[in-house]
Amino acid sequence: MWPLCLVALLIHGDVAFDQHERALIQTGVDLLAIETEQRIRLTVRYDYDGGPAALRRALIEPTLLRLGWLDPKVALADRLMRVHVVAWTTQPRIFLIPERIAASSVHAGTPFDLVYTHVVMHELLHELGVDHVPDPRAVMWLNASPTLWLTDWDRVAIHNALDSRADVCDTHVLGD
Ligand SMILES: [Zn+2]
């Protein structure tokens, strides 16, 4: 079922994420590793400070950014995607809007930590090229939900995505 592929990827994180958010992001990273039997191993290093070097790097290397509600990019994303976005990924950049995640968790009556970790997992999988799946219980379901466990639909989508990502797959690690 799983490809003979191991993704080990460094992601630059925005220094604006607070300690609690960093812990939730780490939980998402850990769950992806556990649930893919260590096929997806991500490391987040909080070194994106918005400076010129960080901005340049964010154009070519995976970078996780924290946006405020009023950031002009948020309004633009709303218009382009025709929904009230809580996060989105434009490889290699991932954008999280914590205030909106908080609002959506209140709206859905689910704990913030759960929704936040779900959104992190969902966007990290987008970063790896995984698309949405038509399963409301899946992590890759279109809508933010409190799901933290990969379903068979997720696994097939991950399998297909990683199969075509020779650039991030190290086939030699598990291939012999
Ligand atoms: Zn999505």
20-45 pLDDT tens trace: 999 999 999 999 999 999 999 999 99
**pLDDT score of 1:** 59
pLDDT at 171 over 90: no
148/170: higher pLDDT: 148
In the structure encoding, which two tokens stand for residue 139, read together?
């992590």
Q: What is the pTM of this model?
A: 0.92
Give per-residue pLDDT as tens, 110-138.
999 999 999 999 999 999 999 999 999 99
**pLDDT score of 125:** 97
CA of 131 to the centre of ligand 1 (A): 7
**pLDDT score of 176:** 38
143/144: higher pLDDT: 143
**pLDDT score of 173:** 46
CA of 141 to the centre of ligand 1 (A): 7
Query: What integer best gives the mean pLDDT of the chain?
Result: 91
Q: What percent of the chain has pLDDT over 70?
A: 92
Length of the chain (residues): 176
CA of 6 to the centre of ligand 1 (A): 22
Radius of gyration in angstroms for the set of CA atoms belonging to the chain, rounded to a whole number: 16
Mean pLDDT of 131-159: 92
The span from the CA of 148 to the CA of 135, in Å, is 13
The span from the CA of 174 to the CA of 36, in Å, is 13
CA of 162 to the centre of ligand 1 (A): 17
CA of 150 to the centre of ligand 1 (A): 14
Domains and CATH numbers, the chain: 6-170 (3.40.390.10)
Mean pLDDT of 16-22: 98
